[in-house]
Amino acid sequence: MTAKVAFITGSAKRIGAVTATYLHDKGFNIVLHCHHSIEEAESLLVTLNSRRENSARLVVADVREIDTLAALAEQVVAAFGRLDVLVNNASSFYPTPVGSITQTQWQDLFGSNVQAPLFLSQHLLTSLTAANGAIINMVDIHAERPLQRHTVYSMAKAALVTMTKSLAIELAPKIRVNGVAPGAILWPEQPLDAADKEQVLQQIPAKSLGTPEDIAHAIHYLCEARYVTGHIISVDGGRSVVSSHKV
């Protein structure tokens, strides 16, 4: 089997699903992943396999449960017998105003955004090394400029940025490790009112949201960019150069 294989965590919907579809269109075989969104993941699985027979598989797991990650990694490699790209996309995201932060929130946000990417990378090291593969971490522009009322999330993404750069050094030259930092791409699942949306748009030099395809395009570039490692690509319409982010 000569097709490259990409495993994308949190790929049942939103950016993860678009990325899976985009890479599939570029010839990758895809290992999809979900936790709760099984119906959406199974629908995407059927769609991809209808476009190219036996080109997609699905694994179901809670990536925050560290004791299950070794078994998950085995399932991923067994799906096609190889792995070329790991996209650590699964992420919890919600506000944690200081004064009300709980241990559960801490474990959830760090578990999905830092712990899972690190230990999945470690468990998949052998296969990625054999393929001269790539790890691509979904970080956030708010790793550098913290988002108001999102202290724990911003801390977790900052840790993921550091992990990305550290692994790029440690895993070279066999594995490249990079990150993509989306700006405002999709509105959060927690509703924003019209005023908050307008405030966000005013902070973006491009004056519009990006699209999930913009993120998928950047991820595909990093899949193929043989001489790029240790970098974070901001895909944000220029928002990361604006002086403040309030929403």
Query: Alpha-carbon distance 90 to 102, whole Å?
Result: 21
| Tokens, residue 41 | 């993941």
Catalytic residue check, 22: no
Which CATH number does the domain housing residue 66 bear?
3.40.50.720
What tens digit of pLDDT does each residue of 93-104 get? 999 999 999 999
Q: How many domains does the structure of the chain reveal?
A: 1
Q: Is residue 192 part of a domain?
A: yes
Q: Is a pLDDT exceeding 60 seen at residue 86?
A: yes
Query: Alpha-carbon distance 125 to 129, whole Å?
Result: 6
Query: Alpha-carbon distance 17 to 44, whole Å?
Result: 8
What 3-state DSSP class applies to 204? coil
Q: Is residue 48 part of a domain?
A: yes
Mean predicted lDDT score pLDDT of the chain: 95
Q: Is a pLDDT exceeding 70 seen at residue 1?
A: no
Q: Is residue 138 part of a domain?
A: yes
**Residue 244 confidence class, pLDDT cut points 50, 70, 90:** low
Share of the chain above pLDDT 90, in %: 86
Query: Alpha-carbon distance 72 to 152, whole Å?
Result: 26
What is the structure's pLDDT at 134? Answer: 98
Determine which of 56-65, 184-193, 229-238 has the lowest per-residue pLDDT on average. Answer: 184-193
Q: Is residue 47 part of a domain?
A: yes
Q: Is residue 247 part of a domain?
A: no
Burial bucket for residue 99 (CB in 10 Å: 0-12, 13-18, 19+): exposed
Q: Is residue 55 part of a domain?
A: yes
Q: Could you say which of 22, 94, 153, 227 is catalytic?
A: 153
Residue 97's domain comprises 5-241
Q: Is residue 246 part of a domain?
A: no
| Tokens, residue 144 | 């550098």
Q: Is residue 101 part of a domain?
A: yes
What 3-state DSSP class applies to 181? strand
Determine which of 122-126, 132-136, 155-159, 236-240 has the lowest per-residue pLDDT on average. Answer: 236-240
